[in-house]
Chains A and B, each alone.
Chain A
Amino acid sequence: MEAKKKWRWGVNRWWVLLFIVLNVIFALIFKPVSPHIQVAPEKLGQEPLFSLPVIGDFYLTNTMVAFFITMIILLAMAFAVKRILSKSTLEPRGIAGALEMLVEALYNMTESSAGKWAGTIFPWFGSIVLVVLIANWMGLIPGVDSIGILEHSTEGHPIITLVPEKVFAIVAGEAAKGEGYNVTPFVRPVSTDLNFTLALALISVIMTQVIGFRAQGIRYLTKFFNVTNIFKKPFFGFMDFLVGFLELISELAKILSFTFRLFGNIFAGMVLLFVMTSLIPYFVPSMLMMFEFFIGLIQAVVFGLLTMVFMSMALHGHGEHES
């Protein structure tokens, strides 16, 4: 076996120094400007893609572009893993090894909670973790949220021309009346779109109910409408009935909770990055991006973990606790 090149400390520090110097130079030339922030995702074209008769128009938004990019990244990873695994299965190298570590950790967590239903629950857990992870981390790639189309706006900023008729840059300052521009980014992280998080939350909660019905049959409904004890023990039976009703409300609260937890974390991170970059462009955005990296990972794992825990809890009924 050939000798591996000895890894030396300090090779990458010159790259870091170069990037810091470039950061300071560019922040002095083009002072960063806080873009226009809105909760709803911005439309990219003026014509809708298609229209449904009752629901309305569907436009291409910048979060949809990010979602397509997320899907392409996931598919590329899947094909890469397939190619790596078809060569040798003993010790997969590269991305297949990393994904195998992730899958093994998640599967062990599922198996400790769910037992023999781990095979059914794990695909939901793993898929949600992978999709939300890549969707959250997309906000850290340079170019996302910053490169886009210029649009006239009343509270805009003046622009300078980098490449005539094609590339412009927004500079800080007050624009002349009616001449201000704002950027509509091409790509915006998809977790900042309430549609995406609401859809994932609905999928999660509805599949929890489906798995509950598959595991317990029709007796799953006694979790919500608990009429088993109403005539045996008069007072406590009625309390059980009210608790069951509370469980129903709790399911709806779970949908809202899933939606706003993921949306709030990633949207707050995006707003924080915008505002802090426009205030102090030198070292603080790097620290915030490291924090965002961590938060994106935690939120993805928490979304999946909560889905898995709720599905595991739906497998067992009320009165089956072993003492």
Chain B
Amino acid sequence: MLTGDIVEAAKFIGAGLAMIGAAGAGVGIGLTVLGALQGMSRNPDYYGTILVNMILGIAFSEAIAIYCLVIAFLMMFVL
């Protein structure tokens, strides 16, 4: 029903709109690192523990951005 050009354009528009959700991940990672840096500066002895937990927290938050990326890829390359 729709011609090829409109479908191509819709794919790119959809992929672009899907990536708006990554803004939340950016804010989340920023807050995580904020808390980690404050903790590290107050207790320099616990640098190792806080670093490992910070990396874990960043991975959780980044996964949400990756879900948005997967939807964008789905629109561009699969459907």
**Known: A37-B77, A39-B78, A267-B73. Contact between A298 and B55, CB under 8 A?**
yes
The distance from the CB of B52 to the nearest CB of chain A, in whole angstroms, is 7
The distance from the CB of B53 to the nearest CB of chain A, in whole angstroms, is 10
**Complex alpha-carbon distance, A309 and B57, angstroms:** 12
Query: Cβ of A207: which chain B residues have Cβ within 8 Å of it?
Result: none
**Complex alpha-carbon distance, A65 and B66, angstroms:** 26
**Complex alpha-carbon distance, A305 and B70, angstroms:** 23
**Complex alpha-carbon distance, A265 and B74, angstroms:** 14
Query: Cβ of B78: which chain A residues have Cβ within 8 Å of it?
Result: 38-40
> 1/0 per position for B43-70, CB-CB distance to A under 8 A?
0000000001001100100110011011
The distance from the CB of A39 to the nearest CB of chain B, in whole angstroms, is 5
A302's partner among B59, B67, B70 (CB-CB below 8 A) is B59
**Complex alpha-carbon distance, A238 and B34, angstroms:** 37
**Chain A residue nearest in CB terms to B59:** A302
**Complex alpha-carbon distance, A301 and B52, angstroms:** 10
B63's partner among A38, A40, A260, A267 (CB-CB below 8 A) is A260
Contact call B63/A257, Cβ cutoff below 8 A: yes
**Chain A residue nearest in CB terms to B69:** A264
**Complex alpha-carbon distance, A306 and B78, angstroms:** 29
Q: How many A residues touch the partner, as a band? A: 20 to 34
Query: Cβ of B70: which chain A residues have Cβ within 8 Å of it?
Result: 260, 263-264
Query: Cβ of A261: which chain B residues have Cβ within 8 Å of it?
Result: 59, 62-63, 66
Main secondary structure of the interface of A (DSSP, over half): helix
Contact call A264/B56, Cβ cutoff below 8 A: no
Contact call B63/A305, Cβ cutoff below 8 A: no
**Chain A residue nearest in CB terms to B78:** A39
B55's partner among A39, A260, A301 (CB-CB below 8 A) is A301
> 1/0 per position for B18-40, CB-CB distance to A under 8 A?
00000000000000000000000
The distance from the CB of B41 to the nearest CB of chain A, in whole angstroms, is 23
A109 at the interface (CB under 8 A from B): yes
**Complex alpha-carbon distance, A299 and B73, angstroms:** 19
Contact call A39/B73, Cβ cutoff below 8 A: yes
Q: State which residues 268-296 of A face B: CB under 8 Å.
A: 268, 271
**Known: A39-B74, A39-B78, A260-B63. Contact between A302 and B69, CB under 8 A?**
no
**Chain B residue nearest in CB terms to A108:** B48
Known: A261-B66, A268-B69. 7 other contacts (CB 8 A): A38-B77, A39-B74, A39-B77, A263-B70, A264-B69, A299-B59, A306-B59
Residues on B lying within 8 angstroms of A by beta carbon are 52, 55-56, 59, 62-63, 66-67, 69-70, 73-74, 77-78
Closest 8 CB pairs of A and B: A264-B66, A302-B59, A261-B63, A264-B69, A264-B70, A260-B70, A39-B78, A39-B77
